[in-house]
Chains A and B, each alone.
Chain A
Amino acid sequence: MPELTRPHQSHFFADLDSTPLGLVDLVDESAAPASLWVEAWHSLRRRPLFWISATLIALVTLVALFPSLFTSLDPGFCELKYSLDPPTAGHPFGFDRQGCDIYSRTIYGARASVTVGVLTTLVVVLIGSVFGAFAGFYGGWFDSLLSRVTDIFFAIPLVLAAIVVMQMYDDVSVMTVTVVLGVFGWPQIARITRGAVMSVKNADFITAAKALGSSRLATLARHVMPNSAAPIIVTATVSLGIFIVAEATLSYLGIGLPTSIVSWGADISKAQASLRSQPSVLFYPAGALALTVLSFIMMGDVVRDALDPKARKR
């Protein structure tokens, strides 16, 4: 056997000073307590993208709530003699084909888009997370039924479904668009919630809560839902942007909001005709729309990174 001729390896041990023994499992009492949310916030506030998107979202929300703070002009006041005029003093973006001030129309257009986005997201999160949570937590026939229903809704793409319904209405309002997008948009959140709930519900702390005598509903509300919130929040934030795009697409197709409501989608649609002579007619409402959507999608992105402990550690 070769080991018989192997050189002798001596017994070595480090002196205690170089590797002091700590008490096993000592609690570090110096650091401030930090819940997962606090930790997420700490990692969020270091990201420049978070501050950029937060500022943009705040600005867009302010514009949508109080457009008159940003312009004194009435977006409905148009004079044909200014048709497609370049920017002048007091009209920094110039005029569109009808001679309306592009700046004030861009400002007032925010309200429709943001309202549709926010309301639709609320509807979708409300319906989707409740259905998804019950299906994922209780399983059984309700889960099977819900899975089939979401399959069916998934088979009809959002915009196609909206087209079928919206073409029937003549007087479309923000509420109509919200209801239609909400009714066809909830299955996605339901699926995400269901998945999140199912991955949490087998955790030992849920079993521990049951063994304590917590009722099923209390366990769902107190333990399962808070731990499933992260993917719902992220998806909802991103969806908000997607719904704004969907609304604009419907307006572009001429079946969304009517021209009597000032909206970016309708203005972009109208701008197509004037694009070649005056590109800024398209540029401003499209830019405002894209920036709004971008800010929500970016926010969803950074929030996802912050809430995902795996991504944070890397």
Chain B
Amino acid sequence: MAWYIGRRVLQMIPVFLGATLLIYAMVFLLPGDPVAALGGDRGLNPAVAEQIRAEFNLDKPFFVQYLLYLKGILTLDFGTTFSGRAVIDVMGEAFPVTIQLAVMALIFEGVLGIGFGLIAGLRKGGVFDATLLLVSLFVIAMPTFVIGFVMQYVVGVKLQWLPPTVGGDVSFQTLLMPAIVLGAVSFAYVLRLTRTSVAENLSADFVRTATAKGLTRSRVVNVHVLRNSLIPVITFLGADLGGLMAGAIVTEGIFNIPGVGNTLYKAIQQGQAPTVVSLVTVLVIVYIFANLFVDLLYAALDPRIRYA
């Protein structure tokens, strides 16, 4: 197990370097001038432009720029926003909110997705299964922002069950609806994956052997079907964190939640390229670490992987 963790951490290093290099290259090697774009239609005062170039090291060769940027990441110095605040401080305020939202969304999609998926898989071909399958298809086909608008309008404005926006009041109640919206698409994927996996494992040889031992149906399902079926679902949840981040930008924008996604959303709207790059870099790093965690969880669930 120790070897597995060690190898997995080592593998993370090239991925981290590659991903940051890629992000940096995307911004600064592509045609188009990020600094000129800042001025919008009016154009930028050449002196101001020069100053910005110097501040963001844009006047230096590419690899020097990248190394300085990398140094910034490693020393947790992500630069400043245009309003003059350190990006790391802005993140410090916004991150707890986003983490709360993401955890709520993960619980929603994990618990309900696996639960419904299990029932559908056990009763494959039934009415309940068919209905869930159709609902999940609709949810996947619907962009997150459309689900957000509709929920906000119907549940928040028309029915007034839950507050339509969050603003400064971050609590379980205000975040409930955004979390459901954020987790909706993944919920559908988790449901479908669990269903397929459960149905497959139900006809596995070892499940038949377990039944032949004289175990009750519920024990067979809980001990032999469910745990094995969770292995692919856990892998999916890890990869899906990326989707959750992109979704957070949209969801936090719609419900006006003071999280990282909203900060990023505003930075995009205002065209603050360097801030966008810093924020995306942080999100990518979080994503890489989250995937490491998921891989370890995966190894805990599947003994075969530890020795692979």
Interface residues of A (CB under 8 A from B): 148-149, 151-161, 163-165, 167-170, 241, 245, 248-249, 252-255, 265, 268-269, 271-272, 275-276, 279, 282, 286, 289-291, 293-294, 297-298, 301
Give CA–CA (A26, B33) in the complex, Å. Answer: 74
B26 interface residue (CB < 8 Å to A): yes
B172 interface residue (CB < 8 Å to A): no
Give CA–CA (A29, B110) in the complex, Å. Answer: 52
Give CA–CA (A249, B149) in the complex, Å. Answer: 13
Q: Give the chain B neighbours of A248 by CB distance below 8 A.
A: 143, 145
Give CA–CA (A297, B142) in the complex, Å. Answer: 11
Min CB distance B284 to A, Å, is 5
Do A163 and B37 touch across chains, with their CB atoms under 8 A apart? no
Do B268 and A163 touch across chains, with their CB atoms under 8 A apart? yes
Residue of A nearest to B240 (CB): A157
Given A157-B242, A160-B246, A164-B276: A249 and B287 within 8 A (CB)? no
List B residues 240-262 near A (Cβ within 8 Å): 242-243, 245-246, 249-250, 253-254
Min CB distance A263 to B, Å, is 12
Min CB distance A309 to B, Å, is 14
Q: Give the chain B neighbours of A301 by CB distance below 8 A.
A: 137
Give CA–CA (A269, B243) in the complex, Å. Answer: 20
Give CA–CA (A148, B284) in the complex, Å. Answer: 16
Residue of A nearest to B241 (CB): A157
B30 interface residue (CB < 8 Å to A): yes
B22 interface residue (CB < 8 Å to A): yes
User: 7 interchain pairs (CB within 8 A)?
Assistant: A151-B15, A159-B246, A168-B34, A169-B32, A249-B246, A253-B253, A297-B140
Do A272 and B149 touch across chains, with their CB atoms under 8 A apart? yes
Most buried by B among A154, A157, A272: A157
Give CA–CA (A252, B268) in the complex, Å. Answer: 12
Among the listed B14, B22, B268, B284, which residue makes an inter-chain contact with A253, where contact means beta carbons less than 8 Å apart? Answer: B268
Do A276 and B153 touch across chains, with their CB atoms under 8 A apart? yes
Q: A159-B243, A167-B268, A248-B145 are in contact. List 12 more A-B contacts (CB 8 A).
A: A157-B245, A157-B246, A160-B246, A161-B23, A169-B32, A170-B37, A249-B250, A252-B250, A282-B150, A286-B150, A289-B143, A294-B138
Do B26 and A249 touch across chains, with their CB atoms under 8 A apart? no
Q: Give the chain A neighbours of B140 by CB distance below 8 A.
A: 241, 293, 297
Give CA–CA (A157, B261) in the complex, Å. Answer: 14
Give CA–CA (A163, B250) in the complex, Å. Answer: 12
Q: Give the chain A neighbours of B23 by CB distance below 8 A.
A: 156, 161, 164
Do B30 and A252 touch across chains, with their CB atoms under 8 A apart? no
Do B141 and A168 touch across chains, with their CB atoms under 8 A apart? no
Interface residues of B (CB under 8 A from A): 11, 14-16, 18-19, 22-23, 26-27, 30, 32, 34, 37, 137-138, 140-146, 149-150, 152-153, 157, 239, 242-243, 245-246, 249-250, 253-254, 264-265, 268-269, 271, 273, 276-277, 280, 283-284, 287-288, 291
Give CA–CA (A256, B150) in the complex, Å. Answer: 22
Among the listed B146, B249, B280, which residue makes an inter-chain contact with A289, where contact means beta carbons less than 8 Å apart? Answer: B146
Min CB distance B66 to A, Å, is 14
Secondary structure dominating the interface of B? helix
Counting residue pairs across A and B whose Cβ atoms lie within 8 Å, the total is 142
Residue of A nearest to B33 (CB): A168
Give CA–CA (A151, B137) in the complex, Å. Answer: 28
Among the listed A151, A167, A272, which residue makes an inter-chain contact with B276, where contact means beta carbons less than 8 Å apart? Answer: A167
Among the listed A152, A158, A168, A254, which residue makes an inter-chain contact with B269, where contact means beta carbons less than 8 Å apart? Answer: A254
Min CB distance A303 to B, Å, is 14
Do B277 and A164 touch across chains, with their CB atoms under 8 A apart? yes
Q: Give the chain A neighbours of B143 by CB distance below 8 A.
A: 245, 248-249, 252, 265, 268, 286, 289-290
Q: Give the chain B neighbours of A155 by CB distance below 8 A.
A: 15-16, 18-19, 284, 287-288, 291
Give CA–CA (A267, B19) in the complex, Å. Answer: 33
Give CA–CA (A66, B291) in the complex, Å. Answer: 45
Min CB distance B134 to A, Å, is 9
Among the listed A151, A152, A164, A249, which residue makes an inter-chain contact with B144, where contact means beta carbons less than 8 Å apart? Answer: A249
Do B26 and A164 touch across chains, with their CB atoms under 8 A apart? yes
Among the listed B145, B249, B287, B288, which residue makes an inter-chain contact with A163, where contact means beta carbons less than 8 Å apart? Answer: B249
Min CB distance B12 to A, Å, is 9
Min CB distance B40 to A, Å, is 9
Do B157 and A276 touch across chains, with their CB atoms under 8 A apart? yes
Do A279 and B242 touch across chains, with their CB atoms under 8 A apart? no
Given A155-B287, A249-B145, A275-B149: A164 and B280 within 8 A (CB)? yes
Do B145 and A168 touch across chains, with their CB atoms under 8 A apart? no
